[in-house]
Structure 1
Amino acid sequence: MQITASTVSLTVDDVTASQRFFTAHLGYVEQAAAEGFASLSRDDAAMDVVLLARGTEVLPADQRDQRASGLILAFTTTGIDTEEKRLRAEGVEITMPLREEPWGERLFQVTDPNGVIVQFVEWVTPTA
């Protein structure tokens, strides 16, 4: 098997709100959209994001009323300090402040209007 792309599909209450968040603040662009659906991508190694309206009939019946919750959409990046400052300046609420873990992970989180947690991670040499 060869995987040629990665996509995460998120079921949300308000597709338009998440679509605006991902395009305005995270650099995604719309590839396709229809009522209750948006497909977003970037030109780099980030995974594509598909947003589906909760309750849509294209989902199996046992999945239709679920929301994207209990997951963290994590992006490994460079220049994490700059990204945190940029998002803060754009009015995005930082829901977990920038911190560094003893094992060398620097990270912070934001949350989109539908409660999707987006985490940014940068790996550094662990502090002694």
Structure 2
Amino acid sequence: MKLNAGVITEKLAETKKFYTEVLGFGITFENEFYLLLHTPNKSAEISFLLPNHPTQQLLFHQPFKGQGMYLTIEVEDVDTLYQQLKAKSVAIKIELRDEPWGDRHFAIQDPNGVGIDIVKYSPQ
């Protein structure tokens, strides 16, 4: 089984620019109403779909309202990525921090309002 999360949004161009230029994602597929992106190591994908598109069933017409969703991206070197994103003037929503349970992370937000938690998990 493979999971591909999706967000219904009007902001396909902004989303493409954010994920490819800020996070280094690649484009798996795109057309005028659908964008499928993959993580740099191609281990996961996320898709974005225009709302109210006539090719889609009604279930997939309503746009995401910008709240109540987050993604977690696990990285090996969270400190370096944090510094790289700061150098690109990416807005940091939660500053780099260590949690009592050992994880080190920070958070940013995509153009659709999706929170992105970038984390280095502590060894268990």
Report the residue type matching 2:5 in the other structure.
V
> 2 CA distance for matches of 1:123 and 1:45?
20
> 2 CA distance for matches of 1:24 and 1:70?
24
**Structure showing the higher strand proportion among its residues:** 1
User: TM-score, length-normalised on structure 2?
Assistant: 0.86
Please give the secondary structure, in 2, of the residue aligned with 1:10.
strand
Aligned positions of 1:1-128 closer than 5 A:
3=1, 5-44=2-41, 46-67=43-64, 69-124=67-122
- Stretch deviating more after TM superposition (39-48 or 79-88): 39-48
Q: Please list the CA deviations of residues 73-97 of structure 1 after superposition, one character each: whole Å capped at 9, or x if unmatched.
A: 1011111010011011112111111
Shift in CA distance, 21/103, structure 1 to aligned 2, threshold 3 Å = same
Shift in CA distance, 103/9, structure 1 to aligned 2, threshold 3 Å = same
Please give the secondary structure, in 1, of the residue aligned with 2:41.
coil
User: TM-score, length-normalised on structure 1?
Assistant: 0.84
> 1 CA distance for matches of 2:111 and 2:32?
18
Moved over 4 A (4+): none
Please give the secondary structure, in 2, of the residue aligned with 1:81.
helix
Unpaired runs of 5+ in structure 1?
Answer: none
Shift in CA distance, 81/36, structure 1 to aligned 2, threshold 3 Å = same
Retained in 1: the 8 A contact 2:24–2:40?
A: no
> 1 CA distance for matches of 2:85 and 2:55?
34
> 2 CA distance for matches of 1:37 and 1:104?
38
> 1 CA distance for matches of 2:83 and 2:20?
18
Retained in 2: the 8 A contact 1:107–1:121?
A: yes
Question: What RMSD over aligned residues (CA atoms) do the two structures have, in Å?
Answer: 2.0
